[in-house]
Structure 1
């Protein structure tokens, strides 16, 4: 052996790697290769499945305000037409999917969780599809999907309109980006039509996020008009959106639609209060402002290319889209403050924009680098899955155990009632429902007329009775009903129009007039109070009063 060959052999033995395998050495070939795009997609879907389907495994406490989700879906399930037969301070887009799941699985509370499984899956698919349009690498998409699931999906296991509106928005934005960045021909028309429908449904779910969705779509299509020097896509979208508005609103316009649909007009209160924006944005919003800072710096760096950056649709729209989402998150944390984490979708968009602009000399698709990334992204959000682990190992949900420690009430699963199976209720609440069912007016009267101003809306199925029409569905005074409606209820009470009334009193230190106390005063004067029992609400300080006609 020559001296040069001997030296090369010694170097290989000491270094453990040849020139073409600088970071792998004698590692087996199946470890050297990175995961393929298909394999990464499979991992994504496994992550999505875990986060979407795991809520079906839990027994849950009776969720605050879930009664609104149930009743809105149940009324549509029965065929009642919103605004015509009952009034709402918003559109009915939110209740369409839960109503569909009521038709499939029955009008039960857990059908709402099944509906949320579907909604969460749609949100994940829409999110990753948007990233693919921006040519984000498969590894970055996988990590971003994990961030999206940890920061946003995991918190939404019951449907709620402040979440559903964002899902409609993501779908609408995907289908408006699709013809701008990819499709052509008839697919362009179909995509813009479906986007217009989803934009309308987002507005008809929650006005603030829905209006911002419309503005973002119009901005994207205006940009496309400038680049392509043709307004065809913009005009097509506007045509579909106008037609959709007419199709949905024209049949209900005559039913005092503008009075109920809250866009800040009297007697509704506007949420665009400057002080609130300063309080939240200046006082808090640390991560939003951090991602905003990094995004702006990256955009300024790209803007040095001048017109080349502006004309690169993928790069420019990726930057604009991220910026728009971050600004929206800052706005809706003020205008849609319940639940308090409704804007947390921004984490995933901020993460993907920042991470996709980092340059690595290592291949992140190799399993050991990918595993390291997954571990540290998960470690970033330990609080989420740690709470879920506690839920799994606990004998009762943490919220239920906490209430039992703070108040002299015992909770158990409400197995007696089909609509509330797998839900924890206080034993006194369960006994109260049984006492209602045992009343003579309930057992002996057909087509009983019930005014149900309580959170036990699913009693409509359990007793059963048909929810009353020609009245608001939601009774929060100053939000969904006003003095005019309160006076109308009192007139009906004085005229003994109801066979049975359930009225829930909530302490004013928790919320004022969630159910109008003036109506309760009228009931005390004109109806018999049969009994009262604990409401399904935490903290356990609210009570439901059961009234019947005076004999």
Structure 2
């Protein structure tokens, strides 16, 4: 049977929505994103040929950085290249979600609305790559492959199972918590399908994919410090898995997750009471297991990966589509292949998630109107309280830097001016016969593109310097000893007095003893209560070109 005109339209529209939402960031400029230095640093090192766990250590797998590193090779190592990499990741995640809905035989109209909700609630506002997002994207690819293998009769099913298993490991080798839960959801789907279809080979095929991927990525790491760096929970890592925290967060907050669970259980109650019929309904059972598994994962993920606070938001589209499908089956006049129904549902989703796109429109408008504030409008909703932080600089007043790596990225004026002063210092400009030794404990890692210094490398060197996450006692002592011995010609240290040892206070204490603080300026954060401090060895302080008064 030939597809109707409406079916052809629906088939292409969801793909166009995925691509259109993903491409929006390419036509924008951006404020400096907090912590994006971590994404840049790993991608830059890998793009330069450095090897994880040999040239630097990190407390997770390195798959998060592979896509950005590839884009650095193509487009150059600017911060804005990370945005281009995220465009690809967002397209990949949208197509994976669409594939899952197709495998579960969701009506094309509802699938279109589901894809729109997925883009609005999960992918669109992720302009920057982040490991807590990428781990979920790899999980979605794995689940899409596994569902395709389970629901199709294609001769390539064996390969789909193996490929799905491989991506389960890739998800785990991106971040342990999300990847571990992805494996559990994948095994639950495979286990059910094996019993329902009476096919014993499903599980071995997927496990073979996991084993092959593990061998491919782990065997080259023999002889490295991989065992020390990897796995939250073993010393020197602290476990992030707390049963009490998970239960406490679930019952105290998690309003959307509990709401979805209530509605799903209410609508599923007649089927659950006739569980043998439910078990025999393969598509319904797969969708039910998938949705409940995703909601359970979101409940745990918000505790084990708590930054940013909404990084578990991936569950909305699964739960909403499943609920709408259940409603559609109960209401004969609710036809999701009707233009009118689709229009109403999609308009409702755009209204529901208006905050996702409105904040970007608002940001553009506020920057355009930043100079039009008048005394008559001095008191209003946003100005009736006097801010206690008088050092804060509104984002509407941030400016661009012309330094390599910061194209299309705007930062506080103090940050841009401070960078220019640092670039004029003797430690940066003075000719030298030996490699410059510069330690950059800040978020301005792309400065290496113009400072031209050699990065610290080795199995004891952390990729980033977050105390207790990627840097422990051994690494802190390494840096405090080097500072004590005045190993570095210049040190940039980001002082975050309100964050607990993000950049280790011990290193700063050693700097204050053995180095001279010659300059400081705002870090590219909001509120701007964080400082980048510039240190030189005490004997070299008199030769410094920094002239700014200390803040």
Give the TM-score, by structure 2 length: 0.88
1:117 is the counterpart of 2:101 = no
Distance 1:212 1:408, change over 3 A: closer
The answer for the alignment partner of 2:519 in structure 1 is 531
The match for 2:97 among 116, 123, 127 is: 127
> In terms of mean alpha carbon deviation, does 75-84 or 525-534 score higher?
525-534
Contact 2:135 2:171 in 1 (8 A): yes
Distance 1:229 1:50, change over 3 A: closer
Contact 2:167 2:210 in 1 (8 A): no
The answer for the alignment partner of 2:491 in structure 1 is 501
Shift of 1:345: 1.3
The answer for the alignment partner of 2:31 in structure 1 is 61
Contact 1:34 1:366 in 2 (8 A): no
Q: Which runs of 5+ in 2 are unaligned?
A: 374-381, 541-551
* Residues 336-393 of structure 1 deviation map (CA, whole Å, 9 limit, x = unaligned): 1111111111110011101012224254434333222222221112222222221232
Q: Distance in 1 between matches of 2:275 and 2:367?
A: 61
Give matches, 1:92-491, under 5 Å: 92-185=62-155, 187-358=156-327, 359-361=331-333, 363-395=335-367, 407=391, 409=393, 411-443=397-429, 444-445=431-432, 447-470=435-458, 471-491=461-481
The answer for the alignment partner of 2:509 in structure 1 is 521
> Secondary structure in 2 aligned to 1:343?
coil
Contact 2:493 2:508 in 1 (8 A): yes
Q: Distance in 1 between matches of 2:311 and 2:249?
A: 14
Shift of 1:44: 2.0
Shift of 1:479: 1.4
* Residues 112-142 of structure 1 deviation map (CA, whole Å, 9 limit, x = unaligned): 1111111111111110110010110001001
Q: Distance in 1 between matches of 2:352 and 2:389?
A: 31
Rg larger in 1 or in 2? 1
> Secondary structure in 1 aligned to 2:439?
strand
* Residues 155-175 of structure 1 deviation map (CA, whole Å, 9 limit, x = unaligned): 211111111111000000011
Aligned length: 514
Q: Which runs of 5+ in 1 are unaligned?
A: 1-32
> In terms of mean alpha carbon deviation, does 245-254 or 206-215 score higher?
245-254
* Residues 407-457 of structure 1 deviation map (CA, whole Å, 9 limit, x = unaligned): 364844324113111111122211211122212221223631221111101
* Residues 470-501 of structure 1 deviation map (CA, whole Å, 9 limit, x = unaligned): 21111111111112211111112222322221
The answer for the alignment partner of 1:48 in structure 2 is 18
Contact 2:90 2:124 in 1 (8 A): no
* Residues 263-297 of structure 1 deviation map (CA, whole Å, 9 limit, x = unaligned): 31122111122331132100111111121122233
Shift of 1:216: 1.2
Contact 2:232 2:240 in 1 (8 A): no
The answer for the alignment partner of 2:377 in structure 1 is none
> RMSD between aligned alpha carbons?
2.3
> In terms of mean alpha carbon deviation, does 482-491 or 161-170 score higher?
482-491
1:78 is the counterpart of 2:48 = yes
Q: Distance in 1 between matches of 2:267 and 2:316?
A: 17
> Secondary structure in 2 aligned to 1:528?
strand
Contact 2:83 2:128 in 1 (8 A): yes
Q: Distance in 1 between matches of 2:27 and 2:367?
A: 14
> Secondary structure in 2 aligned to 1:420?
coil
Contact 1:62 1:424 in 2 (8 A): yes
Contact 1:413 1:421 in 2 (8 A): no
Q: Distance in 1 between matches of 2:79 and 2:105?
A: 40
> Secondary structure in 2 aligned to 1:349?
helix
> Secondary structure in 2 aligned to 1:361?
coil
* Residues 510-537 of structure 1 deviation map (CA, whole Å, 9 limit, x = unaligned): x111111111121222223332222112
Distance 1:313 1:280, change over 3 A: same
Contact 1:268 1:478 in 2 (8 A): yes
The answer for the alignment partner of 1:16 in structure 2 is none
> Secondary structure in 2 aligned to 1:458?
helix
> In terms of mean alpha carbon deviation, does 403-412 or 272-281 score higher?
403-412
Q: Distance in 1 between matches of 2:446 and 2:64?
A: 18
